[in-house]
Structure 1
Amino acid sequence: MCDTFVARTDAGMLLAKNSDRDPNEAQSLRWYAAADHPPGEPLRTTWSTIPQVAHTHAVVLSQPWWMWGAEMGANEHGVTIGNEAVFTRRTGRQARTGTELLGMDLLRLALERATHRDEAVEVIVTLLEQHGQGGSCSHEHPRFTYDNSFLVADPAGATVLETAGRHWASEEVAGRGRSISNGLTIPGFAERHADPLRGRVARCAVRRARTAESAQRATGVADMIAGLRDHAGPAPTWSLVNGALSAPCAHAGGLVTSTQSTASWVADLRGTPQHWVTGTSAPCTGLFRPVVVNQPLPEDPGTNRFDPASAWWRHELLHRTVLRDHAAGLALFREERDATERAWLDAPPEPGEAAAEADRLDRWWTALVAGADLEDARPAWLRRLWRRWDAAADVPQAQPERGQAPLT
């Protein structure tokens, strides 16, 4: 699932997104330089091959480990996009022709080819009408498919683009804020194409109501981060049907649908664009750190199996240990998390320095929570689900680092 929202402030636009995907699907931040390409060069996307363009712009993307496209990203011109799975009456019944594009591929193609939001919308629409959309949207569940909606922003404004197959509708964002989730929202288009049953299972209307409220009241990056961390209460509320999917900060646990927030992003498009990312799952346990589009990023080697060399997977030791008793676990380091982010928002550090500090704190917090030996307060059925996911990815139990002194 997912949630994306924008806020219009007196100084410019803010965009935030949680990317909700399978609990063992690592997501990596990747930087791609601007490049020129020879005429007729083929471009291999996730499932299809299409013609490349003469020039592509520099981008930073948050990519599921197995995918060419991206869940969210930004380019050197300040264009920033988040996409959402939307369930339409055609979802799951598409006949593949071999040329369709994933919504995540369309997102990356728009960022690589557009210099402002209107051009980005035009890129997506043109490719959609020419190639259609389709193909498996999940590595763990190959038969899972969906259509897509997009929230496209630049420093001057934002546009909602919703699709159903090759059909589409767009709407300029007006007023203080706007949010999208896993259901169609544009009047007329939604009534013609939405699948209400799957939308209810995804709890998209409930989550969109909360992110819309966050968008309306946000005045800065800290407010957008708070909106992404929203559990609709002091801790996640679990449903046997869809886990903790009734709030924007999602945690897996449902028998019908089990997705969690596997990466989070806030774009500050006021003045010179500045982007804040977790590079990890669970914005509630993750730390938002700065990245910029004009600097290369080290790649995270995460896949769908635990890898201690992967920052995404190292954070999962913290996240999954906190889930034993979310309120008690988070309380052990929330104050330090918030103080670190406040200092960074006031004076953004160099991205590499921030990434190293975030990793250092992540390791310390993991040891701190593991050392507390929290009693698992989750219902038995939820513990069984997480044991199954941990076993599938060979996730070890976090162990306290005995004798480690608190970091100062």
Structure 2
Amino acid sequence: MSLVSCDTFVVCGDQTTTGEIIFGKNSDRPCGEIQEVVYYPRQQYTEQEKLKCTYIEIDQVESTHAVILSKPEWMWGAEMGANEHGVVIGNEAVWNRLSNGSEDLIPRLLGMDLLRLGLERSSTAREAVDVITNLLEKYGQGGQCSNIISDFSYHNSFLIADEKEAWVVETAERLWVAELVTTGVRNISNCMSITNKIDLCHPELKTRAKNSGWWDGESEFNWCEVIGATAGDLTDPGSRFSCGRKLLESGASDKNFTVSSMMDVLRDEPSGINRPSGNFPTAGSQVSIMGKRSDNVNHYHWFTATPSPNKSIFKPFSFRMSLPLTQATSSSSPLAQVRKHELWVHHAGACIQTDHLRKIEHTFIDKAFEARKSGKEEENLFNISTEEELKLYFA
């Protein structure tokens, strides 16, 4: 399991320059898998309509919210994304005492399906916790998690945030716990990270733990210890979890953490957070700033839509921008080559100096903040910055 990696981060408003929550994730996936960035509008559905997720059908709801997703092109679900109400979610693969190779391969909801469902069906981070955990209890999680690696499955953890707070949700089979985060910094990797600060949990968790002999029923309940995590390391100072936390704390040491600070964290190679190569390279990245509705400031989301953030441009998106979203980041586009979207194809064959990429990126970070401040946000900066990136590759 040591080759598997992903990292998700949140910095609360008490540590940022603007007082807004900042979220980030690197999605590290099997080498050769394509990740696309796509937009789905809000939708209305008829009563008793069914929804086909990656493997199974579930009950559809009356309406879903507009979402932008960074997702493996072959599955219904997503690795990370945001919705029109300013909810963002990233997930991680985790293993524990209930992980079972054959049982976990039975088709159910993938963790990535749960992530997309959480975005489509919630208007706050707290609501997303309920959506994900209720669906987990009802349908379970499971199924092949790759179209490249055979017999690859895992359980999931999630980091969910909105303008007010963040939640960490960690799961084992259909069991789960959740931790509320309102100050400081927090990150998740491929290890269980909730210990004894449990703000919400599965109603039968402690009963099952006691009856199964995992917990004596008297000592303080520690999720990490009880559930028996089998991958990742919460305490090893050299682990990605520990390194990620140190990077967040360093960036927020003067309480001036910014969107660019989060991009720097996602680009860190010595920690293993950014993986430009290997069996599980970084396939896509997201950074979000959660605008405060009380200040009439919109939330913005930056996506690379390409591997290795050191060789990519974070491109800004807002739900107030004009649509449609460019087809250059969609694997369903006529310009895609064997499901590789246009930007992915040209990025793979390019050799561009980093300073050229950063110049475009910084220009569009400035444009995004200018648009947020002025309220004039109709111009689709994601589309324009994608065009500028493609021009570099064609030059």
Q: 2:274 maps to what in 1? A: 249
Mapped to 2, the partners of 1:73 and 1:250 lie a distance apart of 20
Q: 1:357 maps to what in 2? A: 388
Q: 1:338 maps to what in 2? A: 358
Q: Deviations over 1:121-161 (max 9, x none)?
A: 00001000111100000010131000000000001110100
Mapped to 2, the partners of 1:163 and 1:48 lie a distance apart of 20
- SS of residue in 2 equivalent to 1:106: helix
**Does the CA-based 8 Å contact 2:13-2:183 persist in structure 1?**
no
Mapped to 2, the partners of 1:71 and 1:347 lie a distance apart of 27
Mapped to 1, the partners of 2:188 and 2:268 lie a distance apart of 16
| Structure 1 counterpart of 2:345, one-letter code | W
1:89–1:290 distance in 2 versus 1, CA, 3 Å? same
**Does the CA-based 8 Å contact 1:7-1:13 persist in structure 2?**
yes
| Structure 2 counterpart of 1:8, one-letter code | C
**Does the CA-based 8 Å contact 2:145-2:154 persist in structure 1?**
yes
Q: Deviations over 1:206-248 (max 9, x none)?
A: 112222123232411100000000012xxxxxxxxxxxxx510
2:262 matched to 1:262?
Answer: no
**Does the CA-based 8 Å contact 1:48-1:99 persist in structure 2?**
yes
Q: Mean alpha-carbon deviation: is it higher for 336-345 or for 36-45?
A: 336-345
**Pairwise CA distance, 1:340:** 2.2
**Does the CA-based 8 Å contact 1:182-1:204 persist in structure 2?**
no
Task: Map residues 53-64 of structure 1 onto 2, 5 A cutoff.
Answer: 53-64=61-72
**Pairwise CA distance, 1:184:** 0.4
**Does the CA-based 8 Å contact 1:45-1:101 persist in structure 2?**
yes
- SS of residue in 1 equivalent to 2:21: strand
Q: Deviations over 1:57-96 (max 9, x none)?
A: 0000011010000000100000000001112223343536
Task: Map residues 43-192 of structure 1 onto 2, 5 A cutoff.
Answer: 43-95=51-103, 100-187=108-195, 188-192=222-226
2:316 matched to 1:296?
Answer: no
**Does the CA-based 8 Å contact 1:302-1:312 persist in structure 2?**
no
Mapped to 2, the partners of 1:25 and 1:97 lie a distance apart of 19
Mapped to 1, the partners of 2:169 and 2:246 lie a distance apart of 20
1:143–1:307 distance in 2 versus 1, CA, 3 Å? closer
Task: Map residues 186-205 of structure 1 onto 2, 5 A cutoff.
Answer: 186-187=194-195, 188-196=222-230, 198-199=231-232
| Structure 2 counterpart of 1:150, one-letter code | F
- SS of residue in 1 equivalent to 2:143: coil
Mapped to 1, the partners of 2:26 and 2:10 lie a distance apart of 12
1:57–1:79 distance in 2 versus 1, CA, 3 Å? same
Match of 2:346 among 303, 308, 314: 314
Q: Deviations over 1:171-192 (max 9, x none)?
A: 0114321000001011111112
**Does the CA-based 8 Å contact 1:80-1:154 persist in structure 2?**
yes
Q: 1:284 maps to what in 2? A: 310
**Pairwise CA distance, 1:108:** 0.4
1:280–1:97 distance in 2 versus 1, CA, 3 Å? closer
| Structure 1 counterpart of 2:111, one-letter code | G
Mapped to 1, the partners of 2:394 and 2:239 lie a distance apart of 34
1:307–1:161 distance in 2 versus 1, CA, 3 Å? closer
- SS of residue in 1 equivalent to 2:171: strand
1:362–1:222 distance in 2 versus 1, CA, 3 Å? farther
Aligned-pair identity in percent equals 37
- SS of residue in 2 equivalent to 1:225: helix
**Pairwise CA distance, 1:308:** 7.4
Mapped to 1, the partners of 2:340 and 2:133 lie a distance apart of 41
**Pairwise CA distance, 1:344:** 1.6
Mapped to 2, the partners of 1:194 and 1:345 lie a distance apart of 42
Q: 1:220 maps to what in 2? A: 258
| Structure 1 counterpart of 2:325, one-letter code | L
**Pairwise CA distance, 1:305:** 7.0
CA RMSD after TM alignment: 2.3
- SS of residue in 2 equivalent to 1:353: helix
**Pairwise CA distance, 1:273:** 0.4
- SS of residue in 1 equivalent to 2:170: strand
Q: 1:373 maps to what in 2? A: none
1:118–1:305 distance in 2 versus 1, CA, 3 Å? same
**Does the CA-based 8 Å contact 1:26-1:313 persist in structure 2?**
no
Q: Tell me the TM-score normalized by structure 2.
A: 0.79
Mapped to 2, the partners of 1:31 and 1:144 lie a distance apart of 28
Q: Deviations over 1:361-404 (max 9, x none)?
A: 2444xxxxxxxxxxxxxxxxxxxxxxxxxxxxxxxxxxxxxxxx
Mapped to 1, the partners of 2:260 and 2:348 lie a distance apart of 23
**Does the CA-based 8 Å contact 2:114-2:132 persist in structure 1?**
yes
